[in-house]
A = this chain, B = another copy of it.
Amino acid sequence: MHVTWDVYHGDTQLLSYVPTIKEILYRIVDELQLTKVNESFKQFEPIGVTGFILLEESHVSIHTWPEHQFAAIDIFSCRAFDQQKIEVLLKKAFHSDKIITKSIPRGEHVNSPISKAI
């Protein structure tokens, strides 16, 4: 399951710095009860963040453009999850009124259900 969220009209301040972004990504990981393996965040000067959390067989990533009040988030996960719940979480977290969610099917041509192998 690979889902992307494009967050528009977000609060510039909330999109600008690593500590806030990290805290929001941690909330997503908690919400979905995922297991963190590693993480990396980069602060752009003067504002803007790029970051990822590597999870067991999956990942969460974020790239923010505070000057456009925009953030791009994606989650790749071998377990099904509630993407609507994450949309609500992101809307609240970034004070956004517009989020575009996309679900990208991955590995549809694998013969047997991939989740069973994990």
Contact = CB atoms under 8 A, between A and B. Distances in A.
A55 B44 CA distance: 12
A55 B111 CA distance: 33
Interface stretch (A12-20, A21-29, A56-64, A84-92): A56-64
Contacts of A33: none
A6 B70 contact: no
Interface string A33-56: 000011110101000101110111
Contacts of A104: 4, 102, 104
Contact of A109 (B65, B67, B98, B111): B98
Interface residues of A, number: 44
A80 interface: no
A112 to B, nearest CB: 7
A60 to B, nearest CB: 10
